[in-house]
Amino acid sequence: NPVKTRFAPSPTGHLHVGGARTALYNYLLARKTGGTFLLRIEDTDRGRHVEEAVPMILADLKWLGIEWDEGIEAPGQAGPYRQSQRLPIYTGYVRQLIEAGLAYCSAEVAAEPDAAVPAAEGAKGPMGFRRPAQLPTKEQTLAALDGAAPAAIRFLCPGKDVTIHDEVFGDVCIPADQQEDFVILKSDGFPTYNLANVVDDELMGVTMICRGQEFLGQSWRQALLREALGFRTPLYAHLPLIMDMQGRKLSKRDGDVDVHSFRKAGYLPEALVNFIALLGWNPGGERERMSMKELVELFSPDRIGKSNAKFDREKLLAFNTDAGACADEDRLLVCFRDYLSLNETPIPGGDAGLLRRLLRINKGFRTFADIPARCGVLFKADTDYAFDEKAVVKVLVKGEPTGYAVLAEIRGELAGLAWEAPAIESWVEKFCAARSLGMGKVAQPIRVAVTGNTVSPAIVDTLVLLGREKTLARIDRCLAGKTV
């Protein structure tokens, strides 16, 4: 049956790869069943909220190709889709719970942990609060709700075991003695994660909740609230944790962990999507390379595993290398331009013909960052690059004849050469044959002279990109003895 899923990030910065996986799985579930994918913003934790992060997250999702049907920038009948704009709605449901004798005011506000932050792993409650012997009256609690005195509002737990059925982890039971009366409305008038999500999921028609395993331990609270408010019970699918290769929680100590960083580093979005799809799910068999369309066709929650996923950066790099090799030139051009727009490189981004040539001569690149690493020096000023001392000694100083001697002879012949790829290639072959020199004895001295090191595209491509004038100027600079 069609399901309605949602992704509800709390904006604190760019989209984390763990959040990207959650968004992707919800998107795939909705597309697979012909359902709806909703995006809302959870911004009730004002201490952690970063307003500038909202457009950042939207841009990250769009770059990945994860499109939503309803929510921010796609309004529907259940809006608004920012929780900070829904405070009267939450207050109304809190009032309903108070009137039913299921909530009371609590003065222990300062010690209350931020309920928008996921609890520790597992299903046990933190047991950090004990119910007072004498509960405030309904009148006192309603007065607190209406602002008579700053106070949090807590839900009165009924004291019974709660069993959550999860599509991944099965039945998870939370005994009554591991529960506590939890805050549903903070003293600042903002709801906690548990209340806001329960209300929003009901009113927005969400039928399946797919999120990280770290939220499984809070699900009993939401189950009790749904029961107390007469709400429907959605399907649950909690996702395994994402760890680094040492089995630790994924963090920046091992490198970038947000989507924008991989975008800026020169990864293709389809490679990252393919990679994160496999962090906890597999299609069966040995298949690993899949497009978004194929992921939609193959995705099923019953193939989500319980074991923690490993974020293998070498595997991601291999995925990106393959994606770059398989993509057509038009697609690569779009992505390469996006990469250049995010990075300062000497390569001009406005010349499509030049960019296409760079893509062709750098076929087999791992990330787009490889292209300026190999070719960026060709677009600098002729005096704005340094010579690698080891390369100079090895290529130009040593050997018989020396690279300097070969380079001096090359300089004279290049000056009168027709500057086109076929003519340059023919000249290189004839020059090597006439002097019984290997290609390296000719190409490497030119390469060091015009780039300062031994790494560049094929020598013919290098010279064509540079042009005659710049090539000769750089060789003259090298021969003038300014290289060591």
Residues for the chain: how many in total?
484
pLDDT digits over 141-159, tens only?
999 999 877 889 999 999 9
Would you place residue 121 in the very low, low, confident or very high pLDDT band (cuts 50, 70, 90)? very low
How much is the pLDDT for 114? 43
pLDDT digits over 342-382, tens only?
999 999 988 999 999 999 999 999 999 999 999 999 999 99
Res. 125: pLDDT tops 70: no
How much is the pLDDT for 116? 41
Q: What is the mean pLDDT of residues 413-424?
A: 92
Angle between helices 439-451 and 403-415 in degrees, nearest 10: 80
Q: What is the mean pLDDT of residues 100-105?
A: 96
Q: What's the chain's average pLDDT?
A: 92
Say how far apart CA 82 and CA 189 lie, in whole Å.
15
How much is the pLDDT for 482? 56
Sign, Cα dihedral of 69, 72, 78, 84: positive
Q: What is the mean pLDDT of residues 64-93?
A: 96
Cβ contacts of residue 300 below 8 Å, gap of 6+? 32
Residue bearing the bigger pLDDT, 225 or 400: 225
Q: What is the mean pLDDT of residues 402-422?
A: 92
Would you place residue 108 in the very low, low, confident or very high pLDDT band (cuts 50, 70, 90)? low
Answer whether 274's CB lies under 8 Å from 314's CB. no
Say how far apart CA 415 and CA 325 lie, in whole Å.
37
How much is the pLDDT for 46? 83
How much is the pLDDT for 150? 80
Query: What residues are annotated to the active site?
Result: 252
Q: What is the mean pLDDT of residues 301-316?
A: 94
Would you place residue 249 in the very low, low, confident or very high pLDDT band (cuts 50, 70, 90)? confident
Q: What is the mean pLDDT of residues 46-56?
A: 91
Say how far apart CA 145 and CA 148 lie, in whole Å.
7
Percent of residues, the chain, with pLDDT higher than 70: 94
